[in-house]
């Protein structure tokens, strides 16, 4: 079906159109074009911008999905239409592709950027031409990714499609002002591809290490859970200092501190609380597949003092608040309809916790990493905790 160019003459909130055209700089290649209009009503002077997809990252969900496109648009305040241009990628290609950031743009990309103006003008709304031929700004996408490879893809009943990737990143050393490189493992959901759900350090497996050098895709990596690297987790753990006297008092009385973590993801926080701070930890997550990924790729382990519950976190807290005791029977438990959770040791466990940590993100792209309806959620949690 032929594309009607007139469709782009006005801004239509939330409209998303993708199509391919012959690459004007390469006869045997196709160019993928994606046009997204912001769901936010346009201002009196709407802004239209374009972005070229980084070379060799065309299949990344950040650039290949409407969700990723929307997050890119929201990261640029005031933009009413974002036009993405990049090489056409093969959908459904399951073969792992190792990405290495090019040292500089290829001559093909420079030529494409130079001859893209007629296309960008054709995709611009009519009002931009009221004062003559407009200039469509071209944004550049930059992040700290040096190389990456997807090592696992799957889908959960709650979060949908997800992936695990090993990456090499470049981070700034705040003390010396120079850059260093680290290897990390990430968990991302397709519904919010620009948001890293979990990130941990990884190191080369000693059994698979080669003296020729360490590169993504060239050596097997294993989790290093001694340090928290996800930006918000260190402040989360630091907040325990607010109740440090209480925690120390519990330890002096011979009690192991207990933490209830609502939301698990890859379990980086849970593993740190258990292994580094010697807490007994209970984690609750609604998606069983996410928990499988956490155990297989992120070092989350079931143990006497690490429990994982499959269930709705808010309902779980509500059920606990109505129970005098909690009867454990199995390590990876499911919250049953009657409200009990089962763990392996078979003994009764009191339902009181010293710390409750909430790590529940929104499924709405516009909310980013924040909690949807946070006031209602926290009010419900606090009301049930007081009981």
Closest CA to 87 of 42, 22, 133, 144: 22
For 273, the token pair is 């609380």
Q: What is the pLDDT along the chain (387 residues), one digit of tens a residue?
A: 567 888 899 999 999 999 999 988 887 889 999 999 999 887 778 899 999 999 889 999 999 999 999 999 999 889 999 999 999 877 665 566 899 998 877 777 888 888 899 999 999 999 899 889 999 999 999 999 999 999 999 999 999 999 999 999 997 765 566 678 899 999 999 999 999 999 999 999 877 665 556 788 888 899 999 999 999 999 999 999 999 999 999 999 999 999 999 999 999 999 999 999 999 999 999 999 999 999 999 999 989 999 999 998 888 888 877 764 445 444 444 443 333 444 443 334 456 899 999 887 655 555 544 444 555 555 665 665 655
What pLDDT does residue 6 have? 86
Instruction: Please tell me the predicted confidence (pLDDT) of residue 168.
Output: 96
**Residue 351 and residue 310 in contact, taking contact as beta carbons nearer than 8 Å:** no
Could you give phi then psi for residue 178, rounded to 5 degrees?
Answer: -100, 175
| Bridging pattern class, strands 30-37 and 79-87 | antiparallel
Query: For residue 123, what are the contacts with CB-CB under 8 A and spacing of at least 6?
Result: 8, 33, 35, 81, 83
Whether the CB-CB separation of 124 and 48 falls below 8 Å is answered with yes
Rounded Cα gap, residues 129 and 122, in angstroms: 11
Does residue 229 contact residue 171 with C-beta atoms inside 8 Å?
no
- CA pair distance 383, 331, nearest whole angstrom: 28
DSSP 141-183: ---SEEEEEEEEEEEETTTEEEEEEEEEEEEE-TTTS-EEEEE
pLDDT at position 377, please?
A: 56
β pairing state of 306-310 and 325-326: unpaired
């Amino acid at each position: 079906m032929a594309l009607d160019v007139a469709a782009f003459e006005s801004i239509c909130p939330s409209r998303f159109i993708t199509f391919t055209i012959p690459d004007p700089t390469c006869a045997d290649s196709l160019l993928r074009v994606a046009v997204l209009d912001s769901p936010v009503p346009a201002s009196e002077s709407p802004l239209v911008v374009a972005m070229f997809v980084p070379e060799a990252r065309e299949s990344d969900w950040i650039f290949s999905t409407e969700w990723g496109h929307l997050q890119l648009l929201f990261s640029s305040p005031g933009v009413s239409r974002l036009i993405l241009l990049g090489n056409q990628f093969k959908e459904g290609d399951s073969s792992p592709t190792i990405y290495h950031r090019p040292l500089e743009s290829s001559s093909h990309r420079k030529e494409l950027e130079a001859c893209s103006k007629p296309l960008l003008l054709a995709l611009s709304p009519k009002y931009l031409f009221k004062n003559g031929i407009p200039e469509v700004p071209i944004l550049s996408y930059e992040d700290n990714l040096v190389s990456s490879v997807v090592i696992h893809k799957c889908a959960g009943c709650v979060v949908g499609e997800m992936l695990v990737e090993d990456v090499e990143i470049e981070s700034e050393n705040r003390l010396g002002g120079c850059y260093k490189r680290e290897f990390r493992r990430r968990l991302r959901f397709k519904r919010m591809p620009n948001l890293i759900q979990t990130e941990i350090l990884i190191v080369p497996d000693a059994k698979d290490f080669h003296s020729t050098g360490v590169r993504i895709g060239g050596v097997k990596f294993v989790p290093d859970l001694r340090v928290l690297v996800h930006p918000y987790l260190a402040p989360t753990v630091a907040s325990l200092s607010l109740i440090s006297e209480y925690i120390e008092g519990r330890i002096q009385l011979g009690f192991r501190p207990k933490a209830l973590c609502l939301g698990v993801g890859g379990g980086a926080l849970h593993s740190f609380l258990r292994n580094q701070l010697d807490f007994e930890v209970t984690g609750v997550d609604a998606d069983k597949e996410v928990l499988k990924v956490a155990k297989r790729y992120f070092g989350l382990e079931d143990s006497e003092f690490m429990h994982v519950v499959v269930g709705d976190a808010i309902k779980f807290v509500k059920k606990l608040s109505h129970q005098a005791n909690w009867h454990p029977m199995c390590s990876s438990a499911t919250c049953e309809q009657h409200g009990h959770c089962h763990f392996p040791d078979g003994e009764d466990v009191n339902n009181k916790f010293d710390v409750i940590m909430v790590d529940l993100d929104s499924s709405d792209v516009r909310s980013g990493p924040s909690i949807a309806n946070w006031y209602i959620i926290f009010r419900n949690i606090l009301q049930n905790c007081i009981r």
